[in-house]
Amino acid sequence: MKEARLLRSLRHPNVGEIYGVALHYSPIILVLEYFSKSLHTHLKQNAGRTTEEERRRFITEAAAGFAYLAENGCIHRDISAKVCKLNDDLVNERACRKREEIDEIFQELKISGFSLCENTKEMHESNNIQIAVKWQAPEVLKGGNFSLKSDVWSFGILMWEVYNDGAEPYAGMTPSVVKSMILEDEYRMPVPQECPEVIAKIMSSCWETYPRKRPCMQAIYLVVRDN
């Protein structure tokens, strides 16, 4: 019910909607907006063919949605390309259009995956949930300290995914190795060479060790929107 209450309170073009709740089932069933594929799947299927304009649209729309969540005190805790969904009409339209016309299509990305989402007013240390290690900030890996700024770290990983055609972060490394390298060696993945300078700077700033040094989601959105 917590997820349902949260989704009912959110209204944004880049956040998935909830249409209803079936209370007479155990567990209860949420009726959510349908999407045919995730951004992760789309990037993998279009590897080598995604244009710079498309990448920037994906990042801008994701930033808009996550900035809205941050403004409403919502810590997502599970940010990745897999929780970003593409509008079903967009997917069908893309399949029917010629490649040279793709850039004219308005992308509509929406955020999903709110099962781990928490409100900052109710947030506390969380050591008993399963997390995707490769997307998490050092303070989360060390002590389960989630915050709006740990979401910013994860958004930096999402940006990396967009510029690597949906590839897995820290390829070939196990979660335990990644955790050790981040906490003990302060390792950071190289920024993709294809990244424009403004995107590269944002990505690097998202991976600052200390949360207070990372930008807020609202600032990230404004920069990617205006550049």
Give the model's confidence band at 13: pLDDT under 50 very low, under 70 low, under 90 confident, else very high: very high
27 within domain boundaries:
no
pLDDT tens string 51-61: 999 999 999 99
Q: What is the CATH number of the domain that holds 133?
A: 1.10.510.10
Report yes or no on 48 lying in a domain. Answer: yes
Look up tokens 């349908």; give the residue.
34
Q: What is the pLDDT of residue 106?
A: 46
Whether the pLDDT of residue 125 is over 60: the answer is no
Could you report the per-residue pLDDT of 112-121, keeping only the tens digit for each?
988 888 887 5
Domain span holding position 72? 36-226
Structure tokens at 213: 């040094």
Helix (H, G, I), strand (E, B) or coil at 68: helix
The β-bridge partners of 86 are 37, 109
Phi-psi region at 48: left, alpha or beta (left = phi > 0; alpha = psi -120 to 50): left
Q: Is residue 133 part of a domain?
A: yes
Task: Tell me the C-alpha distance between 201 and 211, whole Å.
Answer: 16
Q: Tokens 């989630």: give the residue.
A: 146
Contact present, 18 and 12 (Cβ < 8 Å)? no
Most confident of 18-22, 26-30, 46-50: 46-50
What integer pLDDT is reported at residue 180 of this predicted model? Answer: 98
Which DSSP helix (H) or strand (E) runs through 32? strand 29-32
Contact 32, 19 (CB under 8 A): yes
Enumerate the active-site residues.
Answer: 78
CA distance 33 to 77: 20
Q: Is residue 23 part of a domain?
A: no
Residue 55 lies in a domain: yes
Domain assignment present for residue 2? The answer is no
Residue 153 lies in a domain: yes
Among the ranges given (42-56, 81-95, 116-130, 189-203), the one the predictor scored with the smallest mean pLDDT: 116-130
Beta-bridge partner residues of 119:
74
Assigned domain for 31 exists: no
* Higher per-residue pLDDT: 122 or 198: 198
Question: Is residue 102 over pLDDT 50?
Answer: no
- The total number of structural domains that make up the chain: 1
Q: Is the pLDDT of residue 85 over 50?
A: yes
Q: How many CB atoms lie within 10 A of CB 16?
A: 20
SS3 call for 109: strand
pLDDT at 7 over 50: yes
